[in-house]
Structure 1
Amino acid sequence: MADRLDTPLTTRKSWVPKVDLESEGVGRVAEAIARFTGTPQFLVWLSVFVFGWLVWNTWGPENLRFDKVELGFTTLTLMLSLQASYAAPLILLAQNRQDDRDRVTAEQDRQRAERNLADTEYVARELAALRLALQDVATRDFVRSEIRDMLEELQASREEEDEELAERER
């Protein structure tokens, strides 16, 4: 024992190995069991087992029966209760692990949706900027109409000059 409070105790070696019940392996085993107990194959095998048990202990040789009909197949009832008492927590454990996976998937989907929204908003802003910029750019039709107007003005001014020259010469 430590003489001082600021000195930690030394740990003792244990003869029993420490098992990490929160490990990934335990969870995978629980999921595998829960997945198997939910299959038709499990129900068929369990039904065959129970049927065989009932047939053997009802019509089998009297000295080889191990579960009495008169007692209501107590051992079978206890075994099925034990199986159910283990199956329920294993199913809940598998469900909790699936909930955790679903939570991670939902978070990743949310992040992906946020990125998509940001990308969409960026593209929309760029498109709006391009539209604004294109309003300032002269289009082909606009340039043609401006050139046509200028040509008409030039022609009109030449005609005026020609008329003035013709009047001066007279």
Structure 2
Amino acid sequence: MADDKWADDDRLSTPGPRSGFQWPRRMRFDQESFGRFAEWIARYMGSPAFIMWMTVFIAAWIVFNAVAPASIRFDENPFILLTLMLSIEAAYSAPLILLAQNRQEDRDRMSLDEDRRISAQSRADMDYLAREIASLRSGVGELATRDFIRSEIRDQLRDLLEELERADEPPDEH
């Protein structure tokens, strides 16, 4: 009976519960929300307000740690903690800025594709209208003009008047 237990539980072809260390499941983020957050960070970090506040923060940090009594200083010269914080900020801000740039490139590409589509449609419409105008011009070329019709009517009237004059003349008796 012990053999039956081993045969069912330890077969490699039968999935079973995992034991021991398990890796955490893959973290999932809402791409759109995270992208908007990255764009907000990139937009703020590229503003004069960010540069001003960062300059004030760094200056205050350095002044405090250089002038304050030694007992309350928390980051002595060469300001290792400040350097570490700025490195961490750079490590996080660079990928966020790149993500924001990638999203902008995607929007630009979609806008360019839409512009190309509209341009192609406009070109097709213009070609169609050019063909229609050419067709109308050739059709108008075959139409009788007002002057032509007047001259034809005059000719017909002249012919009718001549026939009437001949009809009014007495017949010749020979």
TM-score range for the pair, normalised by the shorter chain length: 0.7 to 0.9
1:140 is displaced (CA, Å) by: 2.1
Q: Deviations over 1:31-65 (max 9, x none)?
A: 11111100011111101100110110010121110
* Match of residue 90 from structure 1: 96
1:139 is displaced (CA, Å) by: 2.5
TM-score (norm 1): 0.81
Change over 3 Å in CA distance of 1:145–1:68 after alignment to 2: same
TM-score (norm 2): 0.79
1:167 is displaced (CA, Å) by: 7.7
Kindly provide the amino acid, as one letter, of the partner of residue 126 in structure 2: T
* Match of residue 120 from structure 2: 114
* Match of residue 152 from structure 1: 158
* Percent identity of equivalent pairs: 46
Secondary structure in 2 matching 1:19: coil
Question: What is the alpha-carbon distance in structure 2 between the residues aligned to residue 100 and residue 11 of structure 1?
Answer: 43
Count, aligned residues: 162
* Match of residue 40 from structure 2: 32
Matches within 5 A, 1:21-170: 21=29, 23-69=31-77, 72-159=78-165, 161=166, 165=169, 168=172
Question: What is the alpha-carbon distance in structure 2 between the residues aligned to residue 25 and residue 129 of structure 1?
Answer: 55
Question: Which stretch of structure 1 is more off in the superposition, 149-158 or 77-86?
Answer: 149-158
Secondary structure in 2 matching 1:44: helix
Secondary structure in 2 matching 1:63: coil
Where structure 1 has 5 or more consecutive residues not aligned to the other structure, the ranges are: none
Kindly provide the amino acid, as one letter, of the partner of residue 132 in structure 1: S
Question: What is the alpha-carbon distance in structure 2 between the residues aligned to residue 113 and residue 20 of structure 1?
Answer: 39
Q: Deviations over 1:104-162 (max 9, x none)?
A: 11111111111111111111111111112222222222211211222233334555x27
1:169 is displaced (CA, Å) by: 6.4
Kindly provide the amino acid, as one letter, of the partner of residue 50 in structure 1: I
For the aligned residue pairs, the C-alpha RMSD in angstroms reads: 2.7
